[in-house]
Chains A and B, each alone.
Chain A
Amino acid sequence: MSDYIIETHDLTKRYGNQASVSHLNIHVKKGRIYGLLGRNGAGKTTTMRMLLGLTAPTSGEVTIFGKTFQGNEKKILPRIGCLIESPGFYPNLTGTENLKIFAELRGLKNPNYIKGALELVNLPYRDKKLLSQYSLGMKQRLAIALAVMHDPELLILDEPINGLDPIGIAEVRDFIRELCDARGKTILISSHILSEISLLADDVGIIDHGNLLEEESLKELEAKNAKYIHFCVSDAQKAAQIIAATFRSKDIQLADANNLYLYDTALPVTKINRSFMEAGIDVQEAHLCEDTLEDYFKRITGGEGIA
């Protein structure tokens, strides 16, 4: 059996001539948090909907818990908790009443399931407040409570921090981390907020225009991030010639007349500085830099940054 809890094989969804998701192959490992990162409209939600059988794929296959999803929905879905897009609840009912409906349909008779789930997300049990009076953040918390209520092995959470305040975001982040670390849950989480993925995920899949551009562990991604020495000098052109001639390195990028980036970080900065000064070049700044995940994201998507 495969080590992956979720595996997709050339998963594709087309709407007319437009491919929303194209030949996607993702691999979610057991007991890890997989962050699906992409801009709005990149295909994250469509992918998650296909994983849950809410949208039929045009082609390709989904394997969850080692079983092909199609035909095994009744066995697979009860083991999954999910939050897809906006929270969906009945506005004329209270939070507890809403959860009770879904708990009954899941066959959860013990009210402690509901109570426990609400406590996890800091919402009161048997509160009289109707869902129509809930803030977006409260609805989001309730949706997370619904996703974890039946103690699923796998959580599929689409933008779970939407609508939460900064404290709420930190709480949900800690809570998701704890579910993975302490309870061994496997979690697939999507976000367009890069910092969230970098703070939470163990593995990252970068999706853009429906294509999976990169799939690696966060550590591998961070290791890939470019390191360089940034020099701010009076004459960058002349400084580049000195580096090439004296230190025999061509791994240089001229940003403008005063800034240059040296990617060969093994070279001695102090000696380079001295050479510049001897050649009459003034050095305003020299420091070691590292690309952020955002820089990496920009580079591989070939576009603008992400929040």
Chain B
Amino acid sequence: MLKLIQCEMRKLKRKHFVSFVVFAALLFPIPFTTLVLAGSVGNFTGFEAVFGLLATMGMPIMLPAVLGIIAAMLFFMERDNDTLKNLRTIPVSPIKIATAKIAVLYILGLIFAVATMLSSMVGGLIAGSELTNIGENFGIAIITTLLYTTSILPVVIAIVGFNRSYIFSVILTFFYTMFDFMLAYGGMFATTDPMMRLLTSIMPAPIIYRWQATQFVDPGTPAYSVMEPYFLPLWLVVLTVVIIGGLSYLAIVRIYSKRES
């Protein structure tokens, strides 16, 4: 499997969009650093503020969007280049091929997490603060990345299942990402509608945000009293996202295996 993952990585050589993963991680720190320089964000200043904004607002938008497009590239690669037959006659099972492609998404997600961490540190230094809690924040960045990468798998089902164009996949990815993001920041507090309540309890972005809030909102602050009823423990978020991811993985490998090369 490791060999297959290495080969999947190698297939991305000279694909310029992959470099965009790092570039995308460097985009949000610019406006966020500017925002922090203009004044503090909640109780946070400097590095903590830049990182907090990146983890709760930058990553939820940029990471699923970028990974959705890369997933389309990865899964359309064999179809577009007619290479699946070469792999199947080695033989490599379609299940392993699909699994390796998903593993590549996680690797690129982790690269994004490291780039986010480094860019927030640079942003923090520009904002004039000391770099504190680096280990803890790096842990939050990694967990956030793993959760959001898993959260993109339902989109991959649609990408693989519909097997349409890149434009279709991009539209689908952006719709899913924005809908999920809006639920996290709008739907959760704005309504008591039962359907909305259900969605904000099972969709990835709202529940990840409800865990992140436990990390970034200090007790005793006004924000804490507003957010506190919505807090979720990490284990529950992980369990929910893993269930979504696991079911999505099964659907992806099933669809991919049934496809004739």
Chain A residues with a Cβ under 8 A of chain B: 49, 52-55, 73-74, 77-78, 80, 82, 84-93, 97, 100-102, 104-106, 130, 146
* B83 proximity list for chain A (CB < 8 A): 88-90
Cβ of A105 and Cβ of B89 under 8 Å apart? no
| CB contact under 8 A between A93 and B90, given known A55-B260, A84-B85 | no
Chain A residues near B89: list those with CB within 8 A: 52-54, 77, 80, 82, 84
- Identify which of A53, A78, A104 contacts B3 (C-beta below 8 A): A104
Query: Could you say which residues of chain B place their CB within 8 Å of the CB of A93?
Result: 10-11, 13-14
Distance between Cα atoms of A52 and B85 in the complex (Å): 9
B-to-A contact residues, CB < 8 Å: 3-4, 6-7, 10-11, 13-15, 77, 81-92, 260-261
Complex Cα–Cα for A97 and B4 (A):
15
B90 touches A77 (CB 8 A): yes
**Cβ 8 A contact of B85, one of A78, A88, A130:** A88
B13 touches A97 (CB 8 A): yes
Report the Cα distance A104→B88, complex, angstroms: 14
Closest to B83 in A: A88
B86 near A146 (CB under 8 angstroms)? yes
A53 contact set on B, CB distance < 8 A: 88-89, 91
Q: In the complex, A85 Cα to B81 Cα: how many Å?
A: 12
Taking the closest CB of chain B, its distance from the CB of A115, in whole angstroms, is: 18
Per the bound structure, the CA–CA distance linking A86 and B86 in Å amounts to: 11
Tell me if B10 and A88 are in contact (CB < 8 A).
no
Query: When chains A and B are docked, how far (Å) is the Cα of A100 from the Cα of B261?
Result: 21
How far, in Å, is A238 (CB) from chain B's closest CB?
A: 63
Chain B residue with the shortest CB-CB distance to A143: B86
Assess the B10–A73 pair: CB atoms within 8 A: no
10 residue pairs, one from A and one from B, having the closest CB atoms? A88-B82, A88-B83, A92-B14, A77-B91, A101-B7, A52-B89, A105-B90, A54-B261, A88-B86, A82-B89
* B24 shortest CB reach to chain A, Å: 20
A84 to B85, CA, bound (A): 8
Contacts of B92 in A (CB 8 A): 105
Which of A53, A78, A90, A100 gathers most chain B CB within 10 Å? A90
Chain B residues positioned under 8 Å from A146 (CB to CB):
86
Report the Cα distance A55→B85, complex, angstroms: 10
Would you call B81 and A91 a contact (CB within 8 A)? Answer: yes
Chain A residues near B85 (CB-CB < 8 A)? 49, 52, 54, 84-85, 88
Q: Nearest chain A CB to B209's CB is how many angstroms away?
A: 37
A100: B residues at CB distance < 8 A: 10
What CA separation (Å) do A49 and B89 show in the bound complex?
10
Beta-carbon nearest neighbor of A156 in chain B: B89
Contact partner of B77 (CB less than 8 A), chosen from A78, A85, A90, is: A90
